[in-house]
Amino acid sequence: MADAVPKRPKIDDEEPSAIDLRAEYVESGVKELLDELDNSLIGLAPVKQRIKETAALLLVERARKRLGLAHETPTLHMSFSGNPGTGKTTVALRMADLLHRLGYIRKGHLVSVTRDDLVGQYIGHTAPKTKEILKKAMGGVLFIDEAYYLYRQENERDYGQEAIEILLQVMEHQREDFVVILAGYADRMERFFESNPGFRSRIAHHIDFPDYTDDELLRIAEATLTKQNYRFDARARAAMEEYIALRRRQPHFANARSIRNALDRARLRQANRLFETSAGPIDAKVLSTIVAEDIQASRVFNSAARQEEARS
């Protein structure tokens, strides 16, 4: 009987012959992250869809690399456009986590900055400031909010152009070690890209963040209170619904941010109301309930009443 041919030992670094993308999706933690994104973020359906599409691209590119196919690390620099309070910073944090889980960045941290963190006030000040921020961001994501303020064309002595040139160079030559996300109002971001074509050519993913609907903002309000162990009673919920409709029509509305601010003020009013009116012990339910009075005391209702009077 011929000797059995010994099996070739499996080498860990040996290229697989096939890859189960669905298994990779689960084992990498990407499914868990995207499920959490769906469950924790209200609305933003088009944003969530773009993130899922990006995750699919990265999973496929990673599989191609492991199978020895021709591949190139995709350009991952991004632009998030939308009004304030639409979740851009929150999604940037999740994107950093996603890129880290898939091995496209080493650390997965997010460094959030504005113009003041990058641009100096005198000659020789901008370069070291910008390079220090880039050093902190390496291996992670650099999130630049209100990116269009980086360079002010109307000011001949503005040093923002120096910061832009350093950023562009690093985005091009070290794009495998960190990702830049530029964020801001949609119309201003478009003008920024028109005047800075170097940025446009390096941004592969443009994601638009829509405003929340009134119903989504009400759900955000309820979810925020639930996390804080508060609740609306029935009349307060109706008052909050009315507040959202009125506040949206007023200046400086910032979507979810405006709602969170409104809830902070409602809790302040509730605390003062309880302190001034309670004559004895109060239970947890009372301490945790926001009533209509706590919402309707807002200046938003007074402003709406004055506007109505002016029209009559």
Closest CA to 206 of 58, 13, 47: 47
pLDDT tens digits along 200-255: 889 989 999 999 999 999 999 999 999 999 999 999 999 999 999 999 999 999 99
**Lookup result for tokens 């991952």:** 76
DSSP states of 48-115: HHHHHHHHHHHHHHHHHHHTT----PPP--EEEEE-TTSSHHHHHHHHHHHHHHTTSSSS--EEEE-H
Closest CA to 41 of 82, 99, 6, 88: 88
Q: What pLDDT sits at residue 227?
A: 95
Q: What pLDDT sits at residue 196?
A: 86
Q: What pLDDT sits at residue 170?
A: 94
CA distance 62 to 94: 19
Ranges of the chain with pLDDT below 70: 1-15, 71, 154-156, 304-312
Q: What pLDDT sits at residue 14?
A: 61
Other C-beta atoms closer than 10 Å to the C-beta of 185 total: 15
CA distance 142 to 163: 14
Full set of structural domains in the chain with CATH: 21-209 (3.40.50.300), 214-311 (1.10.8.60)
Q: What pLDDT sits at residue 7?
A: 47
Question: What is the average pLDDT score of the chain?
Answer: 89
CA distance 221 to 247: 14
Q: What pLDDT sits at residue 1?
A: 46
Closest CA to 240 of 265, 226, 221: 221
Strand partners, 55: none
